[in-house]
Amino acid sequence: MSIEVRNIRKAFGTFEALNDVSLEFPSGELVALLGPSGCGKTTLLRIIAGLEAADSGTVFLEGEDASGTHVRERQVGFVFQHYALFRHMTVFENIAFGLRVKPRHRRPAEADIRHKVHELLNLVQLDWLADRYPAQLSGGQRQRIALARALAVEPRVLLLDEPFGALDAKVRKELRQWLRRLHDELHITSIFVTHDQEEALEVADRVVVMNHGSVEQIGTPQAVVEQPATPFVADFINLDDHGPDWLVAARLKHRGHILQPVHNPLRPLRA
Amino acid sequence: MAGVTNSVASHTANHVASGVPSSSRHRDYQASPATREAPWVRYTLLTIALGFFTLFLLMPLFAVFTEALRKGWGVYFAALVEPDALSAMRLTLLAAAIAVPLNLVFGVSAAWAIAKFEFRGKQFLITLIDLPFSVSPVVAGLIYVLVFGAQGWFGSWFGDHDIRIIFAVPGIVLATIFVTFPFIARELIPLMEAQGRDEEEAATVLGASGWQTFWRVTLPNVKWGLLYGVILCNARAMGEFGAVSVVSGHIRGLTNTLPLHVEILYNEYNFAAAFAVASLLALLALITLALKTYVEWRQTATLSPESREQAT
């Protein structure tokens, strides 16, 4: 399902979180919202989900104005940074939750629920954890269960808020590649928020770079690295001060291919 | 002897949900000579603490039961099955049976609103919830007399309609609700705030209605804290003396609760009977403590380090 946001503004008190943001997310793509802390990327994601209301502007889901649609009718899957698993339920019950709360006439039979949950557990390769509680899982396992739970209701879009932010570096890397493979299988329109340049460039089809509540650049990972549109993007993507040229270059990859910054990363463009 | 239950309740009410004891670490502290205090320091502190504990907590409890049984079991039971004592028990149970469920509903809704939503006047509401803790119970009782009494604001209206509130059961129930109001809300607010809104948001995105979210996610997450609050609320409801004393009128067999009955017996120099009834309240306090310990233990078990890490 395609997503479009038009002229979105949002302020928290005097702080302007989003300043007239318009974006289109084509169907079936995996898009990264990339930017430093406080740039408004999470707020935008929550507005698309309906968890936050924009001060002005419109969200279109599949061309339809979603302003009047309640969160629970938007059919979005949302994955939280801190997983937000139901701590008093087993992994099985967590994943089954979305099916169990459906209105009676749309609720699947118990056997179907069981089947579906195990299918999803197999998809995230954690079938053996069905009877555990969230507290007994590692961070990476919890996040995969959270993803399975979000997928259980067959959402039309998948929104991930810093999905790997709370994990250690090694698990992050494994999980983001796993997410990419999963997306290649499911082709569900997905947006994920991150402040990690490597993460965004490595797995996203398209990267949206944001700063101070505005969009700085939209493009493929290659375009963003090779033709940064603004000094901010050049600065942010080039990992200024993060090491010598060769190391920075080696870290900017998209699906295994090394991306080559045009400008010397040690001396990024400045306005 | 209502004091026993009262002090237990108000003492523990504030530092709830905060403490997950890490006894194992403390034991390590004592085991290592690098962190151990000198023996004389340890024994002096221990002696002072235990002496204080014995003098102010253990001895009164012991005294209640010895005084109650001084004239033998016969007198003890006679004091308990005496009609006025039985009616006091019934009234105490009735007041608690009305006040606790009402405060359960009020407390959960107030805590839910305060912990999960932002609105204007939130701080004011929190202050208001604490009012019964900060105001003397006697003042609380007097407020009701002032409002509902025969000479009070609405007294004549109630008089005309032949409704008695003060010096009758409704007044006792009202006063009990007032003094026990904060227990459940105060218990739940920090717990719910610590848990945040993430799980509720997750439930909503998954398609759950507000009602389903509350019953399936919010409530199960606070069940032990809630039970804890209910236990303390109940202990206070049954043991309340001050506020109830003002509105009750001390009519024997009609508007006497157990704590008031104890006072009357004592003032009549009927010590054995007074202590016998008081021992019931002391027993209630002990049962409350046992239940409280069990619930605390369960709460700690659910809030294990891993699950708390997840909550942050």
Give the CA radius of gyration of chain A: 19
Using pLDDT thresholds of 50, 70 and 90, give the confidence band for residue B159.
confident
Higher-scoring residue by pLDDT: B117, B24:
B117
Alpha helices in B135-270 (DSSP H): 137-148, 155-160, 169-195, 198-205, 210-213, 219-221, 223-239, 242-248, 258-267
Nearest-by-CA chain B residue for A52:
B201
Query: Closest-CA residue in chain B for A167?
Result: B310
What ipTM was assigned to the predicted interfaces of this complex? Answer: 0.86
Q: Please calculate the CA angle B141-B142-B146 and round it to the nearest 5 degrees.
A: 125
Sign of CA dihedral A262, A264, A265, A269: negative
Between residues A89 and B161, the one the model is more confident about: A89
Put simply, the answer to whether B310 touches A87 (Cβ < 8 Å) is yes
Mutate to test the interface with A, among B197, B200, B206 (most CBs of A within 10 A): B206
Query: Vertex B221, ends B218 and B222: CA angle to 5°?
Result: 95
Q: In this predicted structure, what is the pLDDT of residue B21?
A: 45
Question: Span B269-274, mean pLDDT?
Answer: 88
Q: Does the pLDDT of residue B3 top 50, yes or no? A: no
Set of chain A residues whose Cβ sits within 8 Å of the Cβ of B306: 135-136
Phi, psi of A105 (to 5 degrees): -70, -15
CB atoms within 10 A of CB B242: 18
Residue pair A232/A224 in contact by the 8 Å Cβ criterion: no
For residue range B192-250, list pLDDT tens digits in order. 998 888 999 999 999 999 899 999 999 999 988 898 899 899 989 998 888 888 888 87
- Which residue of chain B is at minimal alpha-carbon distance from A148? B206
Query: What phi and psi, each to the nearest 5 degrees, are found at residue B229?
Result: -60, -40
Structural contact between residues A176 and A221, judged by C-beta atoms closer than 8 angstroms: no
Q: Which residue has the tokens 């209206």?
A: B157
pLDDT score of B49: 95
Sorting pLDDT into bands at 50, 70 and 90, what band is A198? Answer: confident
pLDDT at site B117: 85
Q: To 5 degrees, how large is the angle CA A180–CA A185–CA A189?
A: 70
Mind listing the pLDDT tens digit for each residue in A209-223?
999 999 999 999 888
Q: Is residue B302 very low, low, confident or very high in pLDDT (cuts 50, 70, 90)?
A: low
- What is d(CA B169, CA A247) in angstroms, rounded to the nearest whole number? 81
A52: pLDDT strictly greater than 50: yes
Q: Give the closest of A78, A88, A136 to B205, CB-based.
A: A78
Pair of tokens at residue B190: 């920090």
State percent of chain A over pLDDT 70. 90
Going by C-alpha positions, the residue among A20, A41, A75, A69 that lies closest to residue A191 is A41
Residues of chain A in contact with residue B310, where contact means CB-CB under 8 angstroms, are: 82-83, 85, 87, 134-135, 142
The CA distance from A122 to A134, in Å, is 17
Of B164 and B201, more confident: B201
Q: How far apart are the first and last CA of chain A?
A: 38
Judging contacts by C-beta atoms under 8 Å, the chain B residues touching residue A97 are: 203, 206, 208, 216
Lowest mean pLDDT among A147-151, B19-23, B82-86: B19-23
> Is A101–B204 a contact, with Cβ atoms under 8 angstroms apart?
no
For A153, name the nearest residue in chain B, comparing CA atoms only.
B206
Q: Please give the structure tokens belonging to residue B192.
A: 């719910």
| pLDDT higher than 90, residue B289 | no
Test A72 with B201 for CB contact under 8 angstroms: no
> For residue B153, how many other CB atoms are within 10 A of its CB?
10
3-state secondary structure at position A173: helix
Taking only the tens place, the pLDDT of each residue in A80-91 is 988 899 998 999
Beta partners for A161? Answer: A193
Length of chain A: 271
State how far the alpha carbon of B213 is from the alpha carbons of A86, A98, A99, B208, B232, in Å.
Answer: 11, 11, 14, 6, 27
Using a CB-CB cut-off of 8 Å, the residues of chain B touching A82 are 198, 310, 312
Indicate whether B95 pLDDT > 50. yes
Rounded CA-CA distance B105/B96 in Å is: 14
Under the banding of pLDDT at 50, 70 and 90, the label for residue A238 is low
- Is the per-residue pLDDT at B64 higher than 70? yes
- Rounded Cα–Cα distance for residues A191 and A61 (Å): 13
Question: A145 with A137: CB under 8 angstroms?
Answer: yes
Paired tokens of A235: 């600065």
